[in-house]
């Protein structure tokens, strides 16, 4: 079987140096255009680890992970098809698969091929101008924008997809009737990421427009210093000349009378002049009770977008994306055992930062060997982190919380009743007891009406399977884990 691969590295070049086959030539031209249109950061994040593979008559773009494949399909596949069709005189079809999907097909998918003719992946250096100009990039970093926070590295899901769509629309300078826009949600669930991504995209889309990003804390300290130095006019001009003003953690100004007054007039001036204003807060404007009533009213008059805590599916997607990023930096295959990723997604539910931090810890300890790490090894490495945040939960507490959630009596869970309306919550409670207590299976069984340990084991395995198949069960487990962990 003949397999010829043209891989792309995160730096924007391509992997090895083969003879210029027709497919190589077409893919090279396609990637030059893609990198120019998407920008270096986006191209590197999602297409940087992909590879074009030829296997017999089959041509396939192989993405490093399922997340990368899905992103390419949603955001770039149509354009890739257009560029491929323009540059390929033979009119061949191009398929898209994840690395796991492609490798799983094995040699049987490529009949009439010679296995001895496998070639190495090759590097073709291509210089393509970066979309965000160097001055704009410098200005963004001086304002505190972080390169790693882009739309391409933001994983969207049910809890944040509306906010994500609104941010993309604002960043595209699309005409909109909502101003200001407020993103609010718990700490550590992507508000700052979204605001940074919006800023970078807005600067890339309209380089001549002025984008200003500032935290509310910096707004306050800069304003106070301007008052002390009698430079308030310059401070006002700096912000009110912005085409797009982005303020992070606006709740910080609550209770600061003079700062709120200045922010109110800045907001008013920009909105009346048709300029865009976007802010983030840890609560909805209606809940910012310490904030000046006029300012709070103007925030509520805009578009208020809530960002909900990530569900289990989204947390797994975030882990996949983070692992792909770390793998690109460390030059290893972005792969980890499913049970390890599931453990992280189930254990670190309160903050995306904590979730990513746990994965960072594992990769820092074992690097590319994370693909071989077992669940026991991962738990051993993270035990100090878990010990610091673990709240002691008893089986009795679990039974109370589960029975309240499912509107049952606690006695139902330890009774002999086998009706589904009781049996499923009982299995959920057993699974929770296994996950977040130190009780053995026989001990858990005794606390559920003297049941055998095999009954508990069956319950645990059944819920493990259902949480992958049934979104309602997965959502219930998410809610219950949050309640029990406080």
Residues 6+ positions from 446 with CB-CB distance below 8 Å: none
427/425 Cα distance (integer angstroms): 5
Peptide bond just before 180 cis, omega within 30 deg: yes
DSSP 13-68: -EES-----HHHHHHHHHHHHHHHHH-HHHIIIIITT-EEEEETTEEEEEESSHHH
pLDDT at 14: 38
Question: What pLDDT digit, counting tens, does each position of 38-62 carry?
Answer: 766 567 667 776 788 887 777 888 8
First to last CA, the chain: 56
Question: What pLDDT digit, counting tens, does each position of 241-253 carry?
Answer: 899 999 999 988 8
pLDDT at 276: 92
Decide: 337 and 373 in contact? Cβ < 8 Å. yes
Q: What are phi and psi of 59, to 5 degrees?
A: -120, 130
Question: What pLDDT digit, counting tens, does each position of 273-307 carry?
Answer: 889 999 999 888 888 888 888 998 988 888 998 88
Give the CA angle between residues 176, 178, 181 to the nearest 5°: 115
- Listed in order, strand segments (DSSP E) in 124-232 are 181-184, 211-215
pTM for this prediction = 0.54
């Amino acid at each position: 079987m003949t397999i010829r691969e043209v891989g792309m590295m995160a730096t924007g070049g391509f992997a090895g140096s083969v003879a210029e086959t027709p497919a190589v030539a077409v893919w090279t031209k396609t990637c030059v255009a893609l990198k120019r249109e998407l920008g270096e950061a986006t191209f590197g994040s999602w297409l940087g680890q992909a590879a074009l593979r030829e296997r017999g008559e089959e041509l396939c773009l192989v993405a490093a992970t399922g997340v990368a494949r899905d992103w390419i399909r949603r955001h770039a596949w149509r354009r890739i098809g257009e560029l491929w069709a323009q540059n390929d005189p033979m009119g061949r079809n191009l398929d898209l698969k994840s690395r796991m999907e492609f490798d799983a097909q094995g040699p049987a998918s490529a009949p009439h091929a010679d296995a001895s003719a496998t070639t190495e992946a090759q590097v073709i250096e291509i210089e393509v101008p970066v979309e965000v100009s160097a001055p704009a990039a410098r200005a963004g970093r001086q304002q505190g924008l972080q390169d790693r926070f882009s739309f391409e590295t933001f994983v969207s899901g049910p809890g944040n997809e509306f906010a994500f769509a609104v941010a993309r629309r604002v960043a595209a300078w699309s005409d909109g009737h909502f101003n200001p826009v407020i993103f609010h949600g718990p700490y550590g669930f992507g508000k700052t990421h979204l605001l940074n991504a919006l800023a970078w995209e807005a600067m890339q889309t309209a380089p001549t427009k002025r984008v200003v990003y500032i935290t509310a804390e910096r707004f306050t300290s800069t304003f106070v210093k301007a008052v002390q130095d009698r430079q308030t006019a310059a401070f006002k001009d700096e912000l009110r000349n912005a085409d797009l003003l982005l303020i992070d953690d606006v709740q910080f100004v609550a209770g600061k009378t003079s700062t709120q007054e200045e922010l109110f007039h800045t907001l008013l001036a920009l909105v009346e002049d048709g300029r865009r204003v976007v802010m983030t807060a840890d609560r909805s404007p209606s809940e910012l009770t310490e904030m000046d009533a006029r300012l709070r009213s103007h925030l509520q008059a805009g578009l208020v977008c809530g960002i909900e805590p990530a569900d289990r599916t989204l947390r797994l997607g975030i882990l996949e994306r983070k692992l792909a990023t770390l793998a690109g930096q460390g030059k290893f295959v972005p792969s980890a055992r499913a049970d390890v990723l599931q453990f992280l997604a189930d254990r670190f539910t309160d903050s995306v930062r904590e979730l990513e931090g746990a994965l960072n810890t594992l990769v820092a300890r074992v690097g590319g060997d994370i693909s071989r790490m077992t669940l026991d090894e991962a738990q051993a490495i993270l035990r100090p982190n878990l010990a610091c945040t673990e709240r002691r939960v008893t089986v009795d507490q679990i039974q109370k919380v589960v029975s309240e959630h499912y509107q049952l009596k606690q006695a139902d869970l330890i009774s002999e009743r086998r009706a589904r309306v009781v049996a499923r919550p009982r299995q959920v409670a057993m699974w929770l007891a296994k996950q977040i207590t130190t009780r053995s299976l026989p001990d858990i069984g005794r606390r559920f009406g003297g049941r055998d340990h095999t009954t508990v084991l069956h319950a645990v395995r059944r819920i493990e399977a259902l949480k992958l198949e049934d979104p309602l069960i997965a959502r219930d487990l998410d809610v219950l884990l949050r309640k029990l962990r406080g």
